[in-house]
Amino acid sequence: MIQAGSLGIPYAPVIGLAGTDLYRRRDDVTITPNPFDPEEHTVVVRALNPDVAIFHATKVDRSGNALLRWHPDNEDLQVARASRRVIVTAEEVVDQVSPYDSGGVFLPTINVTAVVHAPGGAHPTGVNGYYELDREHVLEYQRCSVSDELFRSFLDKYVFGVTEEEYAHRYGRAPVKV
């Protein structure tokens, strides 16, 4: 559980899952007595601490602060806190990103290992205020996902067969005017 990982605790109680094949097939979930009330048992799940997390931000600064996409749950923050290394790619490098910036979620540098200037880095998905989802590209990805052979041809075309510059030139999206 990523929440537990973000808090540095070994596991967390949850309500639900018991009786399912999800519960039966996983070794990171079990049932244990509540230490404060032995009459109650709870499902507990083990903490998750990813080795590396990669985020794409709208803005980063050179100190490593980042402005991530807005999300009601700030779940990116939980993932960043839980992960051992955090790489943030960004549309723009600016002088300063602060917790008072609007339009996104502030990720402080204490949780960031490295930042990378990568405009267009979310392609083929979109970045609000920068560019839209590339629908045709996503559909092509979907069509190529049905077999190993097709997927290899997709990787050859878009990943192994082009340099970063060629990719940006050929498939980069025109900026959205705001």
Partner 1 sequence: MPEKPDCNVSELLAVLIAREVKDWEMCACGALSQIPAAGLLLAEATHAPHVQFIIRSSREFDQVGYDMHFLAQRGQMDLFFVSGIQIDAEGNFNLHVIGNADAPDVRMPGAYGTAMLYYTAKRIIIFRTEHTRRTFVEKVDFISGSLKTPEKVKRHTQSVKVITPMAIMDYDWAAGRFRLGSVHPWHTVQEVQDNTAFDLGAPPQAPATPAPTVEELRTLRTVVRERMIDTGTYPVFAREGLQPA
Determine if 133 is a binding residue for partner 1 (CB under 8 A): no
Please report how close the Cβ of residue 49 comes to partner 1 at its closest, in angstroms: 19
- Residues whose CB falls within 8 Å of the CB of residue 107, separated by 6 or more in sequence, listed in order: 55, 57, 65, 66, 67, 68, 76, 77, 80, 88
Determine if 21 is a binding residue for partner 1 (CB under 8 A): yes
Please report how close the Cβ of residue 85 comes to partner 1 at its closest, in angstroms: 25
Q: What is the DSSP string of 69-101?
A: PP-TT-HHHHHHHH-SEEEEEEEEE-S---TT-
Backbone dihedral region of 152: left (phi > 0), alpha (psi from -120 to 50 degrees) or beta?
alpha
Please report how close the Cβ of residue 12 comes to partner 1 at its closest, in angstroms: 12
Residue among 7, 12, 43, 93 that touches partner 1 (CB under 8 A): 43
Residue among 8, 10, 28, 31 that touches partner 1 (CB under 8 A): 31
Residue among 27, 35, 40, 136 that touches partner 1 (CB under 8 A): 40
- CA separation for the pair 115, 95 (Å, rounded): 14
Considering the complex, state which of residue 27 and residue 73 has its C-beta at the smaller distance from partner 1.
Answer: 73
Residue among 22, 139, 150, 155 that touches partner 1 (CB under 8 A): 22
At 93, list the tokens.
Answer: 């490098």
Please report how close the Cβ of residue 40 comes to partner 1 at its closest, in angstroms: 6
Please report how close the Cβ of residue 47 comes to partner 1 at its closest, in angstroms: 16
At 4, list the tokens.
Answer: 């537990």
- Residues whose CB falls within 8 Å of the CB of residue 171, separated by 6 or more in sequence, listed in order: 123, 124, 134, 137, 158
Residues near partner 1 (CB under 8 A): 14-22, 24-25, 31, 33, 39-43, 71-73, 75
